[in-house]
Structure 1
Amino acid sequence: MLQRKIIERCMLVLLVFDKTEGLQRTLVRMGVGNSFGRIFRISTFGESHGGGVGVIVDGCPPRLALSRDAVQYELDRRRPGQSRLTTPRNESDQVEILSGLTPEGETLGTPIGMIVRNKDQRSGDYNEMAAAYRPSHADATYDAKYGVRAVAGGGRSSARETIGRVAAGAVAKEILRSYSNCQIIAYVRQVQDICLPQDFNLDDVTLEQVEANIARCPHPETAQAMISRIDQIRRTGNSIGGVVECIARNVPAGLGSPVFDKLEADLAKACMSLPAAKGFEIGSGFSGVLLTGKEHNDEFYIDSHTGRTRTKSNRSGGIQGGISNGETIILRVAFKPTSTIGQLQNTVTRDGKETTLRGKGRHDPCVLPRACPMVDNMVALVLADALACHLAQCQLLPTEHADFNPLGVQLPPPQVLGASS
């Protein structure tokens, strides 16, 4: 008879004992809140002003072609100091891949360890913040939960933690690209009240358009208005927020599960786990409440060119019943203004005294341009994990109707993943 016992306050530890033999059978340790995914699983580590930040990627299939350049490209898109719209902290964010690859650049199927060393810390900027809490920052809640916190740079609450996620997302993107030529693109849709035109065509968006300007908005005129607004706010020592939109093309139908593991639920958790994220919607989102069922439903039709069953509209955002339907996934994430600002604010000290605080250090006046690679790489992590879960459950055994899939070509059986095109 098994007896289970959970011990330790800050680690989830499951001990399973066999009374007959008196032996400990299993010990499973999982760090609280630092790991993500089920089969394709990541764990990030490090603080903003520590020695470095990084990630362990587990569950990556073997023989996947993966280059350091592919990982570095994603990190360069999110690194600080890339333009006047971002924090001036000067970090090159050069990745070191410590494990999981052959010298020729193929994955081994073992954990992939990656780290980026911190180079440009100015911990002295945070001396005053050691005593006083920054309004709307994680300072007070970290103290309330742990009784201690990493003052310099915000520790794990800093957006610098997302380096590990973005590096892992680069691996996930290679898996998805190799499997179904899946393309994931995130861009700035809105800064305050400046928004993409209503008639903007998402079908034509390319990564090259997004990367063509420092706002990461694929519409040049709107991008210029966004840049001017962020510049204006930056000069006052304040900050602003907005919305990042993300599209995922060529997502295989069948990813996700009913009820608790719906694909949109996993995507929401992934995106809402990012620093400063305050809202999430998929497909029609909150605007869908203005429509009737007849207006909102995505009617089916047969594509005469491919023979696929498709939808005439895409208000579902590529997901129905928690499962991908083969259409483009469309989601949006709202980000609040950066908490640390250069204007005087009222607050309290750690010992309960009212005071004022003016933020020091180097911070983004608007997180949106650097949030784009954070969002699209989190989406990649979710889709890669969902693909692994789908293959493990639904492609393990042959079925009598293996050639039939109303939403497109049947997903192929597991195969060796080659280099991306």
Structure 2
Amino acid sequence: NQHNDHRGGGRFSGRLTATHVMGGAIARKLLKVTLGIETNSFTSQIGKIKMAKQFNEKMINSIYKNEVRCPETKTAKMMRENILNARKKGDSLGGIIESVTTNVPVGLGEPIFSSLESDLSKAMFSIPSVKGVEFGSGFKGSELYGSENNDLYTVKRGKIVTKTNNSGGILGGISNGMPITMRIAFKPASSISQKQSTVDIKTKKETTLQVKGRHDPCVVPRAPPVVDSLVALTIADHALISGQIKPIL
């Protein structure tokens, strides 16, 4: 394909997400103005370095105060050093982005073919390097008893809410009014400058491959705006389908 940039482009380049962010900017504004919905994503893990505390609303303003988009300053510095060390070795690192969407109304989604979880997951997997998505307690929930994982209902300020949010804001494919919480796993970029063994498809003999060009040692810090955008686009679609946002404002 003569249109591919051999230095680091093509179908799986992160550059394709620029259009996601363009559309997402409009969707985020639409959701904020009509329903008060806000979505915030941040880096919670790079390699084996994780955030020390659980995310809360007070951390939102700290997300973009460092290069790795982690709301914890001390952890962000450690993450940055980890990325730079990987670059020196000609290697790469993966990580986890967490997404929290608040003020989501009850009733978005469908129980089977267009469940909110399914559509959000589909959107996340359109991002290059994404290899896993979980909601709420996710895989950790598989280790719990039902009595531990169930979200018990209560009334707060006249509104029915749950005491916990292990469901991640979605039950049976439909939003339940609690914040939608997601964790998105990104694999380490495969394009690294170290020599790796491969096979020549013409000769069918083993050989070595060394990738050259412009490649990030870690794509995770670039991902929060992309995740925010795709979450917003998906939720906006469901809000329009359900009639909670009118097609003509």
The bucket for the TM-score relative to the shorter chain is: over 0.9
2:71 pairs with 1:218: yes
* TM-fit CA distance, 1:200: 2.1
Match of 1:346 among 184, 197, 205: 197
User: How many residues in Structure 1 have an aligned counterpart in Structure 2?
Assistant: 248
Match of 2:59 among 195, 199, 205: 205
- Where do residues 400-415 of structure 1 align in structure 2 (5 Å cutoff)? 414=246
Match of 1:376 among 213, 228, 242: 228
Aligned to 2:40: 185
Q: Deviations over 1:103-127 (max 9, x none)?
A: xxxxxxxxxxxxxxxxxxxx4xx4x
* TM-fit CA distance, 1:416: 5.7
Q: Deviations over 1:233-291 (max 9, x none)?
A: 11111101011101101112111011121101111111112100111100000000121
Contact 1:48 1:160 in 2 (8 A): no
State the distance in 1 between where 2:85 and 2:227 align: 25
Opposite residue 298 of structure 1, the aligned amino acid is: D
Match of 1:266 among 101, 114, 119: 119
Secondary structure (helix, strand or coil) at the match of 1:261 reads: coil
Aligned to 1:235: 88
Task: Show structure 1 runs of 5+ residues with no match.
Answer: 1-46, 51-122, 127-151, 392-410
Aligned to 1:308: 159
State the distance in 2 between where 1:205 and 1:387 align: 27
User: CA 1:263/1:235 → structure 2, altered by over 3 Å: closer, same or farther?
Assistant: same
Aligned to 2:26: 171
Q: Deviations over 1:46-88 (max 9, x none)?
A: x9966xxxxxxxxxxxxxxxxxxxxxxxxxxxxxxxxxxxxxx
State the distance in 1 between where 2:98 and 2:166 align: 15
Aligned to 1:80: none
State the distance in 1 between where 2:3 and 2:235 align: 31
- Where do residues 34-73 of structure 1 align in structure 2 (5 Å cutoff)? none
Aligned to 1:319: 170
State the distance in 2 between where 1:378 and 1:200 align: 23
State the distance in 2 between where 1:388 and 1:327 align: 19
TM-score (norm 1): 0.56
Secondary structure (helix, strand or coil) at the match of 1:326 reads: coil
State the distance in 1 between where 2:182 and 2:80 align: 23
Opposite residue 209 of structure 1, the aligned amino acid is: S
2:157 pairs with 1:297: no
State the distance in 2 between where 1:48 and 1:292 align: 56
Match of 2:217 among 365, 382, 386: 365
Aligned to 2:187: 336
Q: Deviations over 1:157-196 (max 9, x none)?
A: 2111111111111111111111112111110011111111
Secondary structure (helix, strand or coil) at the match of 1:205 reads: helix
- Where do residues 62-211 of structure 1 align in structure 2 (5 Å cutoff)? 123=5, 126=6, 153-197=8-52, 199-206=53-60, 208-211=61-64
Aligned to 1:5: none
State the distance in 2 between where 1:342 and 1:218 align: 30
Aligned to 2:207: 355
Secondary structure (helix, strand or coil) at the match of 2:209 reads: strand
Opposite residue 30 of structure 2, the aligned amino acid is: I
Opposite residue 185 of structure 2, the aligned amino acid is: A
Point out the more displaced range, 345-354 or 275-284.
345-354
Secondary structure (helix, strand or coil) at the match of 1:301 reads: strand
Aligned to 1:251: 104
Aligned to 1:281: 134
Opposite residue 315 of structure 1, the aligned amino acid is: N
State the distance in 1 between where 2:224 and 2:126 align: 14
* TM-fit CA distance, 1:415: 7.8
TM-score (norm 2): 0.94
